[in-house]
Structure 1
Amino acid sequence: MRRSGRPSPWRRQDMDTPDSGGMTPLGRKTAETGINFTSTTRFSRGLTFIRTHTLFGQSPTRRIIPQTSLLQENADPQKIAFLLRKQWTLYSVTPMYKFSYGLKGTDQDQVAILVQIASRSQLPFENAEDKVVWSGWFCCISGDDLLESVPEDFTCLSLFLANGAESYTAIVGSWFQKTFDCYFSRLTISPLNLAWMAAMWTGCKVDSHMAATELVFSVPCIPQSLDISYAIHPEDAKALWDTVQKTPGEVTQEEVNLFMDCLYSHFHRHFKIHLSATRLVKVSTTIASAHCDGNIKILHSKHLIGVLTLLTELAISQIQ
């Protein structure tokens, strides 16, 4: 539905709705479900995130690992915990026209919006609580590059994370698309960006127990594909990264390539298989796990802002 007849410059009218996780028309309501909109944690936009590329859509040559102190000081621990250890499906969202809920609290803050679908109990108890069956988060962490170019009437919450049935995602997405003249698209993760995640997350310092760094590679075969799982002991992976990384807190494409090449060489030496000829489809570390299909599970609260910053960059890149 258009607002005041004004078209959105980000609207993609020539594309059909996605087949998987796409947004279908909102055609029915049930008395058993309700949708709640909640303005949640304000993530500070003051966190430093430097990009050395000049245009989105191009792979950066260098990324700064964001600090998390401001998030830890200002955010509600319960809301952070809500994001952890759930499988979220990622979407990229174009700026929303005249979005009328949950705008910025101050010029320095960017608000994250929680949307939930709850199933109401049929039992005749006054204190019976609704059961949340689906959750979605809108956010735009350190998305300053796009925010500066967005017209006044538009709100940029470019990253959307959904947890629950795809049918509910389609209903919510369809309503937002019609109401705020925006477009949702499934956010997939390329092998290159998965390699970045493997390197960046392996290099993160954690106080708790570290899990193995696991890489999953897909080998196209007939009649069915074959997956190769490559697990590296966390101390070995961290030691390798420490020999590769030149500047603490900063990661370059050259360092990512060298890190992956070393892992490939080690695997070939033992199994005589060239992993460079396969396709990296999944990365799992202590910090988070991510799949090329656009599914992610965030595992460590200390590095939540860093994970969301990278995902926001990928979402914005897909928009432009």
Structure 2
Amino acid sequence: MEGAPNQGTDFGGKTMGHGMNLINTAHLSRGRISLKRGNLFGQTPTKRRLLQSPHTQVNAGAQIDFFLCKQLTLYSSTPLYKFSYDRLQEYSRQLGFVIAAEKQKGLAVHVESNLTCKVKFSLLSVLKTSERDQTGVLIQVTAENAGAKVAGPKVLWMGCFCCIRGDDILETIVEDFTCFPLFLVNGAESLTAIIGTWLQQTFDCSFSLLTISPLNLAWMAAMWTGYKMEHHKRAVELTFSVPGTPHPLDILYAIHAEDAKALWDSIHTTQQEVLQEQVDLFMDGLCYHFYRHFKIYLSATRLVKVSTSVASAHSDGKIKILHSAYLLEILALMTELAITKIL
């Protein structure tokens, strides 16, 4: 067991305070656990199907790279009114003018005065996994210093609209509306505010930060642990927030990837779907193992972050995708959560 102070800042620059790491490398119990968990994870969906991703396109590598190893903030988006794939160049020019005007006013605070900004809307065909899915749309804001010795634009901001396996909401969409329930963002908050305002005014839509509940984080921990990884296996890390303390206090619980996978494989006996009771048993096993070693009931805490070899996710609506092979599965799950929020 290791206890270590941990200071950090969130996206808005607020101090998070002290944390505590509790790490144990002992083998996990594979047996059925009956430990009471209180209301740690709340109600969960009955089941989720494991998606069979289509073969990615030969030229999909560059498109997939847009998502990898970046902190992405999740937003749910209502349908866009009068959006047209044929007008992407026009949208690029219009938003470029808006950012330039805000830069003149000094509102685009993360854009240096000597940089020339360019906006580009482009298609992400890799995100279209079926005939019913919408083709993804990427928005990039790049900047280039004409006097710089090193040529090439620098990406200041990127956002992506997508709808992967969004059958539930696509069936309800009426004419003139395009459904992109999930909007992912990487970049400065000042640009997010400017671009978000323009999108809402142009397409009569609205955005809402997509926070992730403990129950959905538990699903992610179980499902992502079950994905096969040949190399670069990382420990499964679960971060729990301790309530009622004078200063913010987190417990970081790390489990060897092989041990976590073995526990999950002993529980997950269905081939094409994951059941709520399987997720419950997986988390019960981890919590019971933790209690045996540290005599701490994690049922008195709140799960706020999950980190695996495949991806990490935080309750505040931030994810980081680490493995390209499971990009579509991860975005499909995030699309599901976004749809649940706007329906």
* TM interval, short-chain normalised: 0.7 to 0.9
Name which of 307, 320, 329 aligns with 1:306: 329
Distance 1:107 1:196 in 2: 28
What SS does the corresponding residue of 1:83 show, helix, strand or coil? coil
1:274 is matched with 297
Distance 2:131 2:328 in 1: 19
2:181 is matched with 158
In the TM superposition, residue 166 of structure 1 has moved relative to its aligned partner by 0.9
Contact 2:133 2:163 (8 Å CA) reproduced:
no
What SS does the corresponding residue of 2:164 show, helix, strand or coil? coil
In the TM superposition, residue 79 of structure 1 has moved relative to its aligned partner by 1.1
Q: Are residues 1:167 and 2:190 paired?
A: yes
What SS does the corresponding residue of 2:165 show, helix, strand or coil? coil
1:257 is matched with 280
Larger deviation, residues 310-319 vs 105-114: 105-114
1:196 is matched with 219
Name which of 70, 73, 96 aligns with 1:89: 73
Superposed CA offset, 1:9-64 (max 9, x none): xxxxxxxxxxx88xxxxxxxxxxxxxxxxxxxxxxxxxxxxxxxxxxxx9521111
Distance 1:196 1:107 in 2: 28
Name which of 128, 152, 157 aligns with 1:129: 152
Distance 2:196 2:146 in 1: 27
Name which of 38, 44, 53 aligns with 1:68: 53
1:176 is matched with 199
Q: Which has the larger radius of gyration?
A: 2
Question: Which residue identity lines up with residue 237 of structure 1 in the other structure?
Answer: A
What SS does the corresponding residue of 2:251 show, helix, strand or coil? strand
Name which of 64, 68, 82 aligns with 1:98: 82
Question: Which residue identity lines up with residue 90 of structure 1 in the other structure?
Answer: L
1:316 is matched with 339
What SS does the corresponding residue of 2:266 show, helix, strand or coil? helix
Larger deviation, residues 243-252 vs 172-181: 243-252
Distance 2:148 2:307 in 1: 45
Question: Which residue identity lines up with residue 153 of structure 1 in the other structure?
Answer: D
**How many pairs are equivalent?**
263
Question: Which residue identity lines up with residue 299 of structure 2 in the other structure?
Answer: S
Q: How do residues 109-148 of structure 1 correspond to structure 2 at under 5 angstroms?
A: 109-123=133-147, 128-148=151-171
Contact 1:218 1:281 (8 Å CA) reproduced:
yes
What is the identity percentage for the equivalent residue pairs of Structure 1 and Structure 2? 60
Q: Are residues 1:284 and 2:307 paired?
A: yes
Distance 2:276 2:58 in 1: 32
Superposed CA offset, 1:68-118 (max 9, x none): 233x24661111122111100000000011112369999545211110112
Q: Are residues 1:242 and 2:265 paired?
A: yes
Distance 1:216 1:181 in 2: 38
Distance 1:108 1:148 in 2: 10
What's the Cα RMSD here? 2.1
Question: Which residue identity lines up with residue 186 of structure 2 in the other structure?
Answer: N
1:216 is matched with 239
Contact 1:213 1:286 (8 Å CA) reproduced:
yes
Runs of at least 5 residues in structure 2 that lack an aligned partner in the other structure: 1-10, 13-42, 87-122
In the TM superposition, residue 132 of structure 1 has moved relative to its aligned partner by 1.3
Distance 1:59 1:149 in 2: 25
Superposed CA offset, 1:120-173 (max 9, x none): 314188x94332111111101100110011001100011011001111111111
Contact 1:139 1:160 (8 Å CA) reproduced:
yes
Contact 1:121 1:131 (8 Å CA) reproduced:
no
Runs of at least 5 residues in structure 1 that lack an aligned partner in the other structure: 1-19, 22-57
TM-score, normalised on structure 2? 0.72
In the TM superposition, residue 178 of structure 1 has moved relative to its aligned partner by 0.4
What SS does the corresponding residue of 1:157 show, helix, strand or coil? coil
What SS does the corresponding residue of 1:118 show, helix, strand or coil? strand
1:77 is matched with 61
